[in-house]
Amino acid sequence: MINKTVQNAEEAIKDIEDGMTLMLGGFGLCGIPENTINALVKKGVKELTCISNNAGVDDFGIGLMLQQRQVKKMIASYVGENAEFERQLLSGELEVELIPQGTLATRCMASGYGMPAIFTPAGVGTEVAEGKETRNFNGKEYLMEMAFESDFAIVKAWKGDTAGNLVYRATARNFNPVMAMAGKITIAEVEELVEPGELDPDQIHTPGIYIHRIFQGKNYEKRIEQRTVRQK
């Protein structure tokens, strides 16, 4: 098998440059590529366009990149829970494009599936439809939305093998598989990196063909945004 292993996040992002477009997996703080985000903050690469469902919180996730003013434009479906984000947005430092969550996911998948555009009813009749082609199929209106590609897609999986095959855990899966397919270069960080043959071929969520670089991350914090419990 082709070995996709790199040593660490620093090596994985060595050619990420100012002005690039990055996709980052995760939903809220769940399933985000913590190690790679930290490395991007350390590297200080700037003027980035980030495509991610959310923008983290002030002191975690993409919020850390916002604090360092590394993000020029954020493409997301929901950006609450982030005061610095709001400040930069209101001051005009940060550009934001909001996209329906399903449209975001499907535009990524379209890229991985080699489909230049998809049709979705989401946003028909709203400001999301402005400037977009609409089309009627079987009496229902749809928007044509274009596939999303990024210079780098950065995803986080639970386990991966050196051939790049990935397995996600619980709802930390979310956007990671669809973004993994949409990077010109895709970086995967995993909690546990194993040898080829240790993952069951039937149980792989993202086949290694979509992954260009993989490394085992460390010190995962896995912060919980809304700890909600019941009492025994």
Using CB under 8 A as the binding rule, the residues of this chain from 138 to 167 that contact another protein are: 158, 161-163, 165
**Calpha distance 108→181 (Å, rounded):** 7
- Helix (H), strand (E) at residue 98: strand 95-98
The length of the chain is 232
Using CB under 8 A as the binding rule, the residues of this chain from 40 to 69 that contact another protein are: 53
Least Cβ distance, residue 90 to a copy of itself (angstroms)? 36
Instruction: Please identify, among the stretches 8-16, 38-46, 59-67, 189-197, the one whose residues bind another protein according to the rule CB under 8 A.
Output: 189-197
- One residue of 96, 98, 118, 194 binding a copy of itself per CB under 8 A: 118
Least Cβ distance, residue 59 to another protein (angstroms)? 16
| Ramachandran assignment for 31, one of left (phi > 0), alpha (psi -120 to 50 degrees), beta (any other) | left
- Compute φ and ψ for 158, nearest 5 degrees: -80, -55
Question: Nearest CA to 175 among 20, 38, 61?
Answer: 61
Using CB under 8 A as the binding rule, the residues of this chain from 147 to 186 that contact a copy of itself are: 167-170, 173
Question: What's 172's DSSP letter?
Answer: G
Q: Does 105 bind another protein (CB under 8 A)?
A: yes
Instruction: Please identify, among the stretches 9-17, 35-43, 58-66, 218-226, the one whose residues bind another protein according to the rule CB under 8 A.
Output: 218-226
